[in-house]
Amino acid sequence: MPIVSAAYRVFRSSPLFAEKRATLAMAFTTSDAPAAPGLKITTPALPPPSPPSSPPSPLLMDFLTADEIAKTKEESRAASNKGRNNQREKAGEADDSKKTHKTKKQTKNKKQMNKGQECGADEVRITPVAAIWPPPYYFEDNLRRVRPYHWTYNTYCKERWRGKTLMEVFVSEFRDRPAEYYRMTMEKGDIFINGKSVGPDHVIQNGDLVSHTMHRHEPPVTAEPIGIIHEDNDMIVINKPSGVPVHPAGRYKFNSVLEIMMAERGPLFRPYPCNRLDRLTSGIMFVAKSVQAADKLGNQIKARTVRKEYVARVVGEFPEGDVVCDQPILSISPKLGLNRVRANGKSARTAFKRLAYYPPTATAAAADDVHDSSGSEKEKDSGDKGHNDNGNSDEDVKGRPWATKRGYSIVRCLPVTGRTHQIRVHLQYLGHPIQNDPIYANQRVWGVDLGHHDADGTLTSDEDVITRLSRMGKEEAAEAVVYYDDMIERYEKQCAEKMTGETCSVCDTPLYSDPGMHELSLWLHSLRYEDADGAWAYESELPRWALPPEGMAGPTRVGGMEELVQAVKGMEDVEAQAVEGVQQEEEVQAAQ
């Protein structure tokens, strides 16, 4: 967290701050700006965002004028002098001398911490509080983009860092950049210890504050707006777009749900997410307006008194009727976020029910609509010699058994438990992975069987899966979607996010191309949330990829959850009867 100067603390307690706060709030609460895809706010009282190549403002609040800054500094100096005079009156000259020296040193460090990029080579450059407002968004090619900006990360020395050199810590702890980058950054003076520029051989000690100023390049996300399903005084129920992370994390900060909502509603708005969706997953999310409202719903979710339903588009013809998967799930690589079915994993249960199945003729049209903007289409003649009934050559089927699963299904999913990637892992285990899943439908990671009924890892070991996924670099487009025959060529035409070979002129960071379609979307959607006692229920519309393809008939809405709930209850009753039967048999044997 950036260190706040004494000047800012004085400013916070002054009438000037209250006046500015009220003015800023009025600018956002009285806005009549249109809704998405642009921002919902107008900020006539605020300056425009800085150009990407300019350093962040050294001011603590961008809406201060030069006169106000000078006045605040004068008040700060007066307050500091008054404090020192009081200290001299209460303490002896000897103690007073030590305290004065310490106070000067602390004040100097704090001033250095808040001077921003105006600082010299020996002074830290830390992004000031609220220096980047409004966020530097712009829209292009149906994507929400963020202009590159400077940002400072601050962290105190961890126990495992003590006694290590600065270079050792950065290379081992922050592996998203090569060692050469960190060495160059240290030589440029963008990494500091306690406000002082140090070299790569500096040894970190307990209590050290490590600061790293970076020129950030955020990946673009979809320009699709965040839909509002319901809003009251305590809660906002939103329809989250696919491809947008919920929280700032990794390479994403402003291009996250929470930051976008704050940009639309003003800097005084504080969102509190109550449930979590993966970056690629779309659908219903609850965002509370207070900690109390977030805790209330969070406790309901933990107590499992809230039901949730998802809808997924999966490979092949999913079985009709009720399907309940209760295979345990194990995290085989927390670092990669990789999970799979394992007997020694945590208990997990998901109920599935097929909503619709669309055969290959419909698949081709849907694939062109979603993936191939050129509209080209290549049909295969299933009557050709050497092809089976599905239009695949016998040789293809031998090498790719998943190629026999033609068409796709829309499946309703009711997760009874809440394990990470639970729906995706269970669908993979059942042999019907989500059609464009970049991990669990990836033949390069899981092999030709895609983990189908591989609970013991005999087909593909955990080590092999982890190694393959780790090796999938950005320099080549991953075969993230393992389609059947006539969709492979379409997928290969897609452009995945990868290195362009160019570097930023400001920071020498390698630049990426725009993400591919499969990196902005996963065909898994949070469709409905409801209270188990019927107190409330919220539902979103079906996403476009779940609707019937053109020229085909199919459902456009989903019924209630009762069918799925009854399927789970029926399985639980069967299990209870089985347990009771075993107990009775044991009692009979014991009596004999």
Write out the catalytic residue numbers: 278
Task: Report the relative pairing of strands 499-503 and 191-193 from DSSP bridges.
Answer: unpaired
At which residue do the structure tokens 């725009």 appear? 514
Q: What are φ and ψ of residue 285, in 5° steps? A: -135, 150
Burial of 320-337, coded b for 16+ CB within 10 Å and e otherwise, reads eebbbbbbbbbbbeeeee
What is the C-alpha to C-alpha distance for residues 360 and 374, in angstroms, rounded to an integer?
A: 20
CA distances 353 to 8, 282, 422, 498, 540, Å, are 58, 20, 16, 37, 18
Cβ neighbours of 527 (radius 10 Å): 24
DSSP-derived letter for residue 387 is B
Helix (H), strand (E), coil (C) string for 85-142: HHHHHHCCHHHHHHHHHHHHHHHHHHHHHCCHHHCCCCCCCCCCCCCCCCCCEEEECC
Q: What are φ and ψ of residue 211, in 5° steps? A: -125, 135
Cβ neighbours of 382 (radius 10 Å): 13
Most distant pair of Cα atoms in the chain: their distance: 103
The set of residues, in sequence order, having a beta carbon less than 8 Å from that of 190 and lying 6+ positions away, is 125, 212, 213, 214
What is the C-alpha to C-alpha distance for residues 78 and 417, in angstroms, rounded to an integer?
A: 60
Q: What are φ and ψ of residue 343, in 5° steps? A: -65, -30
Helix (H, G, I), strand (E, B) or coil at 329: strand
Q: Helices 66-90 and 93-113, interaxial angle, to 10°?
A: 160
Cβ neighbours of 390 (radius 10 Å): 17
CA dihedral 366, 368, 371, 374 (to 10 degrees): -160
What is the C-alpha to C-alpha distance for residues 392 and 170, in angstroms, rounded to an integer?
A: 51
Angle at the Cα of 66 (from 65 to 71), degrees rounded to 5? 100
State the Rg of the chain over Cα. 29
